[in-house]
Amino acid sequence: MQSSNSRIEVLLGDITKVRVDAIVNAANSSLMGGGGVDGAIHRAGGSAILEECKRIVARQGGCPTGEAVITTGGNLPAKYVIHTVGPVWHGGSHQEEEKLAECYLNSLKLAVANHCKTIAFPNISTGVYHFPKEKAAHIAVRTVKEFLQKETSIEKVIFVCFDAENALLTQEEINKA
């Protein structure tokens, strides 16, 4: 089996352009779209994504922080979008770190349940939600590495970073033993 590190990559760029089985969206609980990567995904993927989000909300209500739901990728090169809701950073004493780890874990579980072999993540919560980037990179990479050690069906996890600082921090975490 390939080591978990060889199945993790960093890419500097736009996640809406990445051809994988599933891309992850840093959404909010309403699932009704927003700014940042959420806005970019809905713009590029078209109305089919929002229509499916509306059906999910009608069924279960919104998506709580740390949880994830899956929709079509619409017009995106990715087959699916996994929408997860990151924590807003409130100083670190409101379970922000646990919730961020749950985002990655629940997204990966949903990917496996939907037979996805390749998945791309943005740097969840590090934009509008102001989670410190270094801490977020540590949690993201640790959670993915631990998951890949147990789950062999995922062939590739790509961290698609929109800024050089996140790309560097994420790569540094991957390089750690």
Catalytic annotation, residues:
38
Distances (CA, A) of 22 to 86, 105, 111, 122, 156: 17, 14, 7, 12, 11
Asked whether position 128 contacts ligand AR6 by CB under 6 A, the answer is yes
- Options 49-57, 62-70, 71-79, 117-125: segment touching ligand AR6 (CB under 6 A): 117-125
Cβ proximity to ligand AR6: between 43 and 115 the closer is 43
Asked whether position 96 contacts ligand AR6 by CB under 6 A, the answer is no
66 φ/ψ angles, rounded to the nearest 5 degrees:
90, -15
Spatial contact of 31 and 69, defined as CB atoms under 8 Å apart? yes
Asked whether position 125 contacts ligand AR6 by CB under 6 A, the answer is yes
Asked whether position 37 contacts ligand AR6 by CB under 6 A, the answer is yes
Coil, helix or strand for 48?
helix
Asked whether position 27 contacts ligand AR6 by CB under 6 A, the answer is yes
Spatial contact of 75 and 36, defined as CB atoms under 8 Å apart? no
We find the least distance from the C-beta atom of residue 5 to ligand AR6, in angstroms, to be: 22
